Amino acid sequence: MNYTYPENGASLVIDAAKCTGCGQCVNVCPHAVFEITNRIAHIVRRGSCMECGACALNCSAGAITVSRGVGCAAAILNRYRGKTGECNCDSTLNCC
């Protein structure tokens, strides 16, 4: 099933100069957002990114940045309820 999240992976960035092509982003991404081509990770399904942060947390080269929590369930629900502002879910699950 294909999911599209409200932010559509807007904050997801890969620094190709840092990428080692290890494939961890491919392994941990729950929505197959990444693909490795010529030993470099590429974003191939940005609209499926829920900005969970798994890719960035598992990138040992530090090549991936993303605003974690933008696509988390609490952020999505709060957005529909009209709450505005930055929302990031941290490891203690403190959301907006």
CA–CA distances in Å: residue 34 to residues 46, 49, 70, 86, 92: 8, 9, 18, 25, 27
How many angstroms separate the CA atoms of 94 and 72, rounded? 11
Strand partners of residue 37: 40
Residue 67: predicted pLDDT: 82
Break the chain into its structural domains and give their ranges.
13-80
Instruction: Tell me what pLDDT residue 79 has.
Output: 67
- CA distances to 8, 24, 50, 65, 90 from 76, rounded to whole Å, are 12, 26, 10, 20, 15
pLDDT at 14: 96
- What CATH number is given for 13-80 in this structure? 3.30.70.20
Give the mean model confidence (pLDDT) for residues 39-56. Answer: 91
Q: What is the model's pLDDT at position 52?
A: 83
Reply yes or no on whether the pLDDT at 17 is more than 70.
Answer: yes
Distance of alpha carbon 11 from alpha carbon 50, whole angstroms: 10
Residue 42 has pLDDT above 80, yes or no: yes
pLDDT in tens, 60-93: 999 999 987 655 655 666 667 776 655 545 444 4
